[in-house]
Amino acid sequence: MNKVAATGKAWQEEELTALAIQAFRGLGLPPQDAADVARILVVADLFGLSTHGLSRIESYGERLQLGGINACANVTVESPAPALRMVDGDNGVGPLVGMHALRAAMDAASQCGVGVALARGSNHFGPISPYSLIAAQHGYASIIGSNATTTIAPWGGSDARLGNSPLGFGVPNPGGKPFLLDMAMSVVARAKIRNAFKRGEPIPDGWATDAQGRPTKDPGVALDGFLLPIGGHKGYGLALLVDLFAGLLSNAAYLTRVKSWVDAPDEPQNLGHFFILIDTRRLGSVDWLTERMRDFAAILHDSPAADAQRPVIVPGEIELDKMARQRESGIVLEDTVVALLHEHAARAPK
């Protein structure tokens, strides 16, 4: 649990979205572009993914003000083949580029049954699960990935040469909750190592290495070293898969060619994303999919829990339950985030 000040009001989704749109308009985005960005970040907060939600107004805002991100990006889409869309983000805000790519992939998939959008010239695009949710709500199964600033060493290597690239998927479930998975390639997030360091506790084998790429259980040493990918060489390979499809094939930057938004906030990152969508309505009827998804989830839920307090769940349940609860009770944001939203919103054109 983060200990942060969140003393303010519980926001309703519509009200928070309106404020977020004004904040991004205050940072120079046209209304429709601000709405795209707000949509992804508000869903992230609804899912409980607060590190990837409106708190990003801080880094996105800094970079927009420094000119590191283009507030008036002219995102363009080319179609080199019927099912393929190449998206040039023109260094726009990541979720704006992501939404253009998602719409392009949905358009291609509606025509061809399958659609792939490859985006370049982008920036951090938020979490993946909001895109997977939108795709699922429109009937598309999705595999989505993005590359990222380098923080992981190649397997057996000793310096940061690949990103902790996120990979996600979604499958529509007309009769219930869609399946949504959104994962990075490291065993744990860096925050877990920081927490162990604060508590003075060792970390388990397999979480991280020292700065020379050697295994360590010392959280202090690990913080100067590298996160380890899941399954060792397997996670290394998966991270490369994501970068090859999101970065190399999209004509974006990849590996160490991706600029760090921390070290160079005023420069374009040229991040890349991929969106692979399949139109499930071409595969069978809604009843067919409803029954199969119900059966699939039931088989998993019916596995007796190893710990009776923790029943088996399917990917996405936690986030979708949280969304439902927060749509009832409202979303409470950190005070600093609300203050920043208001500060930028105050500059929005009337």
Q: Which of residues 185-214 bind a copy of itself (CB under 8 A)?
A: 187, 204-206, 209, 212-214
Q: Interface with a copy of itself by CB under 8 A: which range of 61-69, 179-187, 191-199, 321-329?
A: 179-187
Which DSSP state fits 274? E
Shortest separation between residue 280's beta carbon and a copy of itself, angstroms: 7
Judged by CB under 8 A, the chain residues 134 through 173 that form the site for a copy of itself are 141, 143, 153-159, 161-162, 169, 171
Q: Is residue 48 near a copy of itself by the rule CB under 8 A?
A: no
Q: By CB under 8 A, is residue 77 in contact with a copy of itself?
A: no
Q: Of these, 10, 305, 339, 346, which contacts a copy of itself (CB under 8 A)?
A: 305
Give the residue, chosen from 240, 333, 345, 348, that forms a contact with a copy of itself under the rule CB under 8 A: 240
Query: Using CA atoms, how far apart are residues 18 and 326, in angstroms rounded to an integer?
Result: 17
| Token duo for residue 321 | 């339950």
Residue 320 DSSP label: H
Q: Residue 247: exposed, middle, or buried by beta-carbon count in 10 A (0-12, 13-18, 19+)?
A: buried
Kindly state whether residue 230 participates in binding a copy of itself, applying the rule CB under 8 A. Answer: yes
Q: With 0-12 CB in 10 A as exposed, 13-18 as middle and 19+ as buried, what is 310?
A: exposed
Instruction: Tell me: does residue 314 bind a copy of itself (CB under 8 A).
Output: yes
Q: How far is the C-alpha of 170 from the C-alpha of 314, rounded, in Å? A: 12
Can you tell me which of 313, 324, 339, 346 binds a copy of itself, judged by CB under 8 A?
313
Site for a copy of itself in 247-266 (CB under 8 A): 248-249, 251, 254-257
Fill in the DSSP letter of residue 334. Answer: P
| b (16+ CB within 10 A) / e for 111-137 | ebebbbbbbbbbbbbbbbbbbbbbbbe
Among 192, 217, 292, 322, binds a copy of itself (CB under 8 A): 292
Classify 22 in phi/psi space as left (phi over 0), alpha (psi -120 to 50) or beta: alpha
Amino acid type, 188: V
Structure tokens at 175: 């009769």
**Interface with a copy of itself: number of residues (CB under 8 A):** 81
Which residues does residue 258 pair with via DSSP β-bridges, in sequence order? none
Q: Which is nearer to a copy of itself, 113 or 330 (CB)?
A: 113
Choose, by CB under 8 A, the member of 59, 197, 296, 330 that binds a copy of itself: 296
Non-local (6+) Cβ contacts of 30 within 8 A are 72
Positions 79 through 118 that interact with a copy of itself (CB under 8 A)? 80-84, 86, 108, 111-116, 118
Nearer to a copy of itself, 37 or 193 (CB): 193
Under the binding rule (CB under 8 A), the answer on residue 181 touching a copy of itself is yes
Residue 111 or 329: the one with the smaller Cβ distance to a copy of itself is 111
Look up tokens 């890349």; give the residue. Answer: 272
